[in-house]
Amino acid sequence: MQMRLNHINLVVTDVAKAIRLFEQHLGFTCLENRKDAVGVMKNEENFILIFWSSKLNKTTTVSYPENFHIGFYQQDKEAVVKIYEGLKNEDVTFDSEPRKLRDTFGFYFHFDKIMIEISVLPA
């Protein structure tokens, strides 16, 4: 049997805000929101992403290792720019505008202690 990634669980300080951002800008659908403590999301490829409230941890501190990030591929540069433009009105910080990254085109942004990469699938 081939091993397949089942889900990723990310700790955030505001589950409702994470759900809204990922639904509006990153193509996820909320399957379940358990009292803003646990949010279960799914995208078109049936990938499951879980948001876990930091309030459920022994300490409410949220931290990830330096350079830890999650990344999402887009079809083309236009899709990357569209997401970038949509995120400008959100509570996120950008490392830069969309630009050449390694062998692709994209950008990084930070949301609730999580670094997220949006880029074009390299050819």
Q: For 21-78, what is each residue's pLDDT tens digit?
A: 999 999 999 999 999 999 999 999 999 999 999 999 888 788 899 999 999 999 999 9
pLDDT value, residue 54: 93
pLDDT value, residue 102: 87
pTM of the entire predicted model: 0.91
pLDDT value, residue 100: 96
- Interhelix angle 15-25/77-87, rounded to 10 degrees, is 140
User: How long is the chain?
Assistant: 123
Q: CB under 8 Å to 113, separation ≥6 — which residues?
A: 12, 13, 62, 63, 64
- Asked if 94 contacts 116 with a C-beta cutoff of 8 angstroms, the reply is no
123 pLDDT more than 80? no
